[in-house]
Copies of this chain bind each other. A is one copy, B any other.
Amino acid sequence: MISDADRADQMGQATREKLKQFIARIERLEAEKAELAADIREVYAEVKTFGFDSKVLRKCVSLRKKEPAERAEEEALLDMYMDVLED
């Protein structure tokens, strides 16, 4: 089956409108996402003014996303590798 959308040069007006609406929705959502990213950057900047280490804080956030088991696993592996390499 070949939909209207598969035939750009035959696109009906309704289909063209639909396409524009999708693009508009996506771009609006992406704009909101970009704003949130900016907000997050702002918080990290504020965090610094309180004397916290933002790099370490970022690591905290990322560690908290992971399961503790997974976290321990990776650390153990890292220690093993470092141990092999240390001499």
Contact = CB atoms under 8 A, between A and B. Distances in A.
Contacts of A25: 43
A84 B57 contact: no
Q: How many copies of this chain?
A: 4
Interface residues of A, number: 59
Contact of A53 (B6, B39, B52): B6
Contact of A6 (B32, B37, B51, B60): B51
Nearest to A5: B51
Nearest to A71: B82
Contact of A85 (B9, B33, B70): B9
A1 to B, nearest CB: 8
A18 B51 CA distance: 11
Interface in A46-82: 46-47, 50-53, 55-57, 59-61, 63-66, 70, 73-74, 76-82
